[in-house]
Amino acid sequence: MVNYSIVRFGDSVNNVITGPSVSNWDLLTKQGEMGILGDTYFVTYTEKFKGKRYPKDLKIQEVSLEQSKEVSSRMPLQPHFNSVNEALKIVPKLKKKVVVVAVSGRYSPQAEQFCSILRSNYGRKCKLIVEGHGSDVCGYQLRSFEDLYKNLYKKADLVILEETPFAKMLFDKEKFPTKNMVVCPTVVLWEYIIGELKRDVRVLKDIKERYYRRYKIPKGSEFILTIGRFQPEKGHREFVIAAKKLLKDYPNLYFLLGGSGDGTIDQVKKLIGKEKRIKIIGKVPFSDFYPLIANSLAFVASSFEIWKKGEIYFGETGPRTVVDALAAGILGKNVVIASDSGGTAWKFNMEKWFEKCSKLGCRTPSKPRFRNISKNKNVMVCNANNRGLLVEQKNPDSIAEAIRIVVDNKKLAKKINMEGRKYVRKWYSSKKISLNYNRLIKNSF
């Protein structure tokens, strides 16, 4: 029985689908299943619908964003005020020790204010923990609110940098203090999905047949898949250029691009032109996500870094889809091809840093380097511990070469798929990562 309460400030996955909201739901769900949720409260805006169910033992404090006409006519809506004001209603229920968690930097001001009030006005022993996700620790969000975020990171008792050591490496280079920072991968509930698909193996075949019919892909053909928001940094353009380089040599190979949003979709359509073997399949329902990857020859994560004025503007701290694709390989033959951008390389060598980086004061590990196996001297394709292939970011030639290796060298492709299965089971176990996260919270006192 824990002797402290936990209050988490964040977005509900039923309001907005983002990296932080999804990873928060996965973590809480796994904690609930394992019986390690403890006395946890979740302060979030009123849910628009109840599509995803949170654990029954989780105490959700919903924050209304409505206010009377009288108030609205005199002052604009203040979501920050609403969140802290609503959270103060649960103070009498909290234990003497309280851990306040900001699920991403955007909620750190609310969490810090609530924590400060608990300490000064209610005599609670309170620890402030900030989770650093993606752009709030290494991208446009941090740069937009740099003074605020960095002061809050300094003030926090603990900053948990999600996914990989990439953000910590950048902070070190800036000589920003990292003594209160640790690294922890996010929980991905891939075991649930794989378990369901194993219980009904027809789903894989049915979804493949449905997509082949819808997009007029002949039986006996294979496909390469990429899925990501249609934004420049997701690399759809580079994927299409790589595909065009392979069409002539591989007449039975198709290329599918999935994703949400319309940021770059017109440019991508124009680039594809009249080519019938490169297909935009739009937003992929989550129910189809794993089966589609499992049916592919390779899943390509082609994101790249964007830098402005010597500072990173976009960089994946560690793409979640790499874990999804490794897990899908348990059911299929797919190989993971990922660009060597952001923290992606660290996703393939967890055994080297997972335990070390979970400790305060840990030394940031160097970026992993893997062996180049490309026969083309002009590009690099690295074998990432036989768990996936790393390609040069923003380089269609490198992507094309990696796909050639997967198609031509079936023995190596099978080996990479099998090793990926073992790796995801051992190192991306949702139980393992949830226990590690709980240990970080407990050790904050």
Q: In terms of domains, do 280 and 136 share one? A: no
- What band does 409 get if pLDDT is binned at 50, 70 and 90? very high
pLDDT of residue 371: 97
Q: In terms of domains, do 232 and 358 share one? A: yes
Q: In terms of domains, do 179 and 269 share one? A: no
pLDDT of residue 80: 86
pLDDT of residue 423: 98
Domain CATH for 401: 3.40.50.2000
Q: In terms of domains, do 96 and 141 share one? A: yes
Separation CA 13–CA 24 (nearest Å): 8
**pLDDT at residue 1 tops 80:** no
pLDDT of residue 289: 96
Q: Is residue 58 classed exposed, middle or buried when 0-12, 13-18 and 19+ CB atoms within 10 A define those classes?
A: middle
For 157-209, the pLDDT digits (tens) are 999 999 999 999 999 999 999 999 999 999 999 999 999 999 998 999 999 99
pLDDT of residue 98: 97
pLDDT of residue 330: 98
Q: In terms of domains, do 213 and 167 share one? A: no
Q: In terms of domains, do 298 and 388 share one? A: yes
Beta-strand pair 278-282/298-301: unpaired
Q: In terms of domains, do 206 and 122 share one? A: no
Separation CA 160–CA 427 (nearest Å): 18
Among the listed ranges 61-70, 241-250, 283-292, 400-409, which one has the minimum average pLDDT value?
61-70
Q: In terms of domains, do 81 and 97 share one? A: yes
Q: In terms of domains, do 202 and 170 share one? A: no
Dig out the tokens for 296 from the structure.
């592919």
Separation CA 407–CA 328 (nearest Å): 18
- What band does 261 get if pLDDT is binned at 50, 70 and 90? confident
**CA dist 2 → 38, 41, 359, 383, 435 (Å):** 6, 14, 21, 44, 14
Radius of gyration of the chain (CA): 23
CB 240 within 8 A of CB 278: yes
pTM: 0.94
pLDDT of residue 124: 96
Q: In the beta sheet, which residues pair with residue 298?
A: 224, 335
- The residue type found at 17 is I
The secondary structure of residue 368, as a DSSP letter, is P
User: CA angle 112-186-415, nearest 5°?
Assistant: 165
pLDDT of residue 51: 85
Q: In terms of domains, do 9 and 144 share one? A: yes
> In which domain, by residue range, is 58 found?
4-188+431-443
Q: In terms of domains, do 143 and 215 share one? A: no
**pLDDT at residue 17 tops 90:** no
Q: In terms of domains, do 217 and 148 share one? A: no
Number of domains in the chain: 2
Whole-number average pLDDT of the chain: 95
Separation CA 129–CA 156 (nearest Å): 6
Strand, helix or coil at 285? coil
For 303-338, the pLDDT digits (tens) are 999 999 999 999 999 999 999 999 999 999 999 999
